[in-house]
Amino acid sequence: MDVNRSAGKRFAEEILIVGAGVVGASVAYHLTRLGHERVTVLDARDRARLPGSTGLAPGFVGQLSATPELTVLARDSVATYRALAKTTPEPVFLQVGCLEVATTPARLEQAHHDVEQGERAGLPARVLDPTEAAALAPALIDAERALGALHLPTDGAADPAALTHALVQAATNGGARFRFDAPVRALEIEDGRVVGVRAGADGELLRAGRTVLATGIWGPVLAATASVRLPMAAVQHPYLYTAELPELDDTPIDGPIVRYPDHAVYTRRHGRRYGLGSYAHPPLPLTPSAALTSAELPFREEDFGTAPAAATALVPVFRTAPVGRRLNGVFALTPDELPLVGPAAGVAGLWCAEASWVTHAGGVGRQLASQLLETGDPLVDPERLAPDRFASWSDERISATALGHYQGIYDAH
Ligand SMILES: Cc1cc2nc3c(=O)[nH]c(=O)nc-3n(C[C@H](O)[C@H](O)[C@H](O)COP(=O)(O)OP(=O)(O)OC[C@H]3O[C@@H](n4cnc5c(N)ncnc54)[C@H](O)[C@@H]3O)c2cc1C
């Protein structure tokens, strides 16, 4: 087949994406940016609310990582989110910077190495003294406790829900169709190939040349209907807000994200409240089912042990401010921290954009769109993200290794 005919065929083909969280929306956005208009996105959710992980995430977008592919995907996401932010009235993303506070001499020394690592990756970075760091985020950093902080000024904060709505709108403007309130019951298989999905209460068959799973923690549930195993694990994570504070206004994104790598804690401002998350507890796995309608579970004190109390004692504003909402949100991990992007193994017609963070979703969308449309310019080597890269691993090994990364998330080393 000549190249033009083959490209014409690809562009004529219907691509169906299941899931309109930040990842599915990003894949649709990038497909339409590349000129592919035959894109349909289905989601069980309604248009306004995001019951998946995206709607729970505080939206830290950090680019420095020991895994170079994650840095590439995060940097590309920042470029996409910046471009999108220029076209939307509401703030969806801002490069507010990140401060990684060192409370031990070893971490301070590491911060100096990170400056060099950042420079090699094209990310500006500097080590600040405690007073400089606390001046940038007085409510979040105690100058008495900090030994210094790594400042990464090009990192950012997203409003993940607003960002997703903006991606949906831009993809819609580019020709994609979004169908909400459309739960997908199963993948439809004919002659060993996924040819679409069964959706809605009546199990309507929707046909497509290629079907993309962007269903977040629910990925394994739908994949199983085509006997495909996705190598990922879902884990519970606590995030706490203060009550609304009179000294704060509605500015949705303001001030740097502050991380305490020595304590597995991170914190930021959200308009009139501050928020804080902690990884300082043993990972709590969850096996999502089709019956689970939200990525938020009840917050049970006993699940996270002393982690919430230790985190609130660390961050100045949390020591005195009344605590507001406390949430237990679920997200997905893989055994090597890289997302699952590309064709699923063992069945034709099925593709994945799974286990990606908000941080990498912009890049994941571009990567998958380039692979689907065979434009020849993926951001990273597709083999590194191939969904079948753990084919020889047992389920137990996949789960244990993935969960083993929980406490080290975002540690750049
Ligand atoms: C508390 C918390 C804090 C986090 N902090 C950060 C952070 O600071 N930075 C960061 O980068 N990431 C963070 N994350 C991770 C991040 O939120 C997720 O990795 C990301 O949002 C996943 O996006 P997604 O689109 O893949 O999944 P989701 O947002 O879960 O979207 C999946 C969509 O698929 C739909 N769906 C599922 N099954 C079906 C079906 N059968 N039929 C139709 N629709 C279906 C769901 O309705 C949902 O809308 C955090 C997550 C949590 C929970």
Residue with the smallest CA separation from ligand 1 atom 33 is 19
The CATH topology of domain 95-156+233-333 is D-Amino Acid Oxidase; Chain A, domain 2 (3.30.9)
Q: Could you tell me whether strands 148-152 and 126-128 are parallel, antiparallel, or unpaired per DSSP bridges?
A: antiparallel
> Ligand 1 pocket: which of 98, 358, 367, 385 to mutate (most atoms <8 Å of CB)?
358
Any atom of ligand 1 within 6 Å of the Cβ of 230? no
Asked if residues 24 and 44 have their Cβ atoms less than 8 Å apart, the reply is: no
Asked if residue 176 has its Cβ within 6 Å of ligand 1, the reply is no
Using the mean position of ligand 1's atoms as its centre, give its distance from the Cα of residue 130 in Å: 35
Domain definitions of the chain by residue range: 3-55+161-230+336-407, 95-156+233-333
Kindly give the parts of the chain with pLDDT less than 70: 1-10, 409-413
Extract long-range pairs of 118-124: CB within 8 Å, 24+ residues apart.
118/64, 118/152, 121/63, 121/64, 121/68, 121/71, 121/75, 122/75, 123/63, 123/64, 123/71, 123/75, 123/152, 123/154, 124/152, 124/153, 124/154
pLDDT tens digit sequence for 163-218: 999 999 999 999 999 999 999 999 999 999 999 999 998 999 999 999 999 999 99
Cα distance between residue 142 and residue 262, in whole Å = 15
Among 105, 154, 101, smallest CA distance to 265 is for 101
Give pLDDT, residue 203: 94
CATH class of 3-55+161-230+336-407: alpha beta
Query: Residue 410: its pLDDT value, please?
Result: 56
Asked whether 20 lines ligand 1 (CB < 6 A), one says yes
CA dist 299 to 169, 236, 312, 322, 409, Å? 33, 10, 16, 17, 21
Instruction: Tell me which residue has its CA closest to atom 27 in ligand 1.
Output: 216
Same topology between domain 3-55+161-230+336-407 and domain 95-156+233-333: no
200 in contact with ligand 1, CB cutoff 6 A: no
Which residue's alpha carbon is at the smallest distance from atom 15 of ligand 1? Answer: 357
Query: Residue 10: its pLDDT value, please?
Result: 66
Q: Is 410 in the pocket of ligand 1 (CB under 6 A)?
A: no
43 Cβ below 6 A of ligand 1:
yes
**Centre of ligand 1 from the C-alpha of residue 53, in Å:** 3
272 CB near ligand 1 (under 6 Å): no
| Amino acid identity, position 187 | L
Is residue 128 within 8 A of residue 148, CB to CB? The reply is yes
Q: Which of 92, 14, 64, 17 is nearest to 354 (CA)?
A: 17
**Of 77, 8, 114, 4, nearest in space to 412 by CA:** 114
| H or E segment to which residue 311 belongs | helix 307-314
What is residue 98's three-state secondary structure?
A: strand
40: CA distance to ligand 1 center in Å? Answer: 19
Rg (CA), the chain: 21
Please tell me if the CB atom of residue 216 comes closer than 6 angstroms to any atom of ligand 1. yes
What are 150's strand-pairing partners? 100, 127
What spacing in Å lies between the alpha carbon of 253 and ligand 1's midpoint?
Answer: 20
Mutate to test the pocket of ligand 1, among 331, 360, 368 (most ligand atoms within 8 A of CB): 331
> Which pTM does this prediction carry?
0.97
Ligand 1 binding pocket includes 19 (Cβ within 6 Å):
yes
pLDDT of residue 2: 43
Residue 218 CB contacts under 8 Å (≥ 6 apart), including other chains: 19, 52, 288, 290, 292
CA of 314 relative to ligand 1 center, distance in Å? 28
